Amino acid sequence: MSRRQARPVARAIAKARTGIEGLDEITGGGLPAGRPTLVSGSAGCGKTLLALQFLVNGATRFREPGVFMCFEETGRELTDNARSLGYDLALLERRKRILIDHVRVERSEIDETGEYDLGGLFVRLGHAIDTLGARRVVLDTIESLFSGFSNALILRAELRRLFRWLKDRGVTTVITGERGEGQLTRQGLDQIVAIPTLVRRLPPPIRKIVGELSNAERTLVGLQLRAGP
Amino acid sequence: MLRLYVTGMTPRSAQAIANIRSLCEEHLRGLYALQVIDIYQHPQLTRMEQIVAAPTLVKRLPLPLRRMVGDLSDRERVLLGLDLREARR
């Protein structure tokens, strides 16, 4: 597969600023407004942080409340991580600027007994968006659903439906995905549905994120980031 | 104590309701409480109850907590999830 850069989409598409220094410049003003964008990168490269900054900046600087749906970290882990960056998620939650929903999918708790869909997730996300009047959504990392449910066919069809639904609702969405063997995400999300994809590959935004680190640590982080395919 | 979460009255919802009712009547007559909840009417419950798939049957008690997703047509698995396997002949 050819390497994809964050390429500017047609100029006619309105942009939603991320407020992340460097990223808004290389993307020609931000992410496509009202549409989903996939952020792909190797493990530990800062996809969650990028998504978090996108959401917090939206809520605090651009008057766009947002819903963070996390499928991996717990709400508390996320809040703690955010605090280390100087964000007070609890306060933003109390002010109804953001809403964090931790989606737990434990294979050990779930039995599949017949035909199902992800209707629960749609209702849940829709309700969160409505509660806040949200303009931004983060799904981090939705592919975790594949470890909780075994029917990949259903999941793929439902994710396709979900991305369409998000677009219809007009919320600017960041979907994170971890790079897998030879593809942008483990389950090939970008193949499930045509979606603008931002490959998280380093410098500009990461510099800001790791700003508190020493030079030695920065080098270390840089090496780790470059380890991806 | 069982709660079945469905998305409106789709054929799949109806199927799940029929399946769990008949199974409970057969194996748990008089010993169970079944509540059917339409999440379109009560969307806030999806977060509290960790609902992702629909339909989802949640068994809170007796422990352990189990979630059974789907239309509950696989009776064997449902019985297993309800810890009723021994009850089966």
Per-residue confidence (pLDDT) for residue A184, from 0 to 100: 67
CA B30 – CA A219 distance, rounded (Å): 67
ipTM of the complex: 0.91
Contact B43 A126 (CB under 8 A): yes
CA B81 – CA A138 distance, rounded (Å): 33
A47-90 pLDDT tens trace: 888 899 999 999 999 999 999 999 987 777 888 888 888 899 99
Pairing status of strand B56-59 against strand B66-69: antiparallel
A25-50 pLDDT tens trace: 888 888 989 988 888 877 777 788 88
Specify the DSSP class assigned to residue B38: E
Closest C-alpha among A120, A49, A140, A40 to residue A86: A49
Contact A109 B65 (CB under 8 A): yes
Query: pTM of the entire structure?
Result: 0.82
Give φ, ψ of A218 to 5 degrees: -60, -45
Contact B69 A111 (CB under 8 A): yes
B84 interface with A at CB cutoff 8 Å? no
- Per the structure block, which two tokens stand in for A29? 């003003």
Question: Which one is predicted more confidently, B68 or A196?
Answer: B68
Q: H-helix or E-strand containing A102? A: strand A98-102
Per-residue confidence (pLDDT) for residue A221, from 0 to 100: 40
pLDDT above 70 (res A225): no
pLDDT above 50 (res A190): yes
CA A37 – CA B40 distance, rounded (Å): 28
Per-residue confidence (pLDDT) for residue A72, from 0 to 100: 84
| Nearest Cα residue in chain B from A120 | B52
How many angstroms from the chain centroid is the CA of residue B49? 13
Residue from the list B43, B66, B73 with its beta carbon closest to the beta carbon of A109: B66
Using pLDDT thresholds of 50, 70 and 90, give the confidence band for residue A216: very low
Per-residue confidence (pLDDT) for residue A8, from 0 to 100: 52
What contacts A163, CB < 8 A, 6 or more positions away? A36, A175, A192, A193, A195
Mean pLDDT of all residues in B57-66:
88
Residues in A touching B45 (Cβ below 8 Å): none
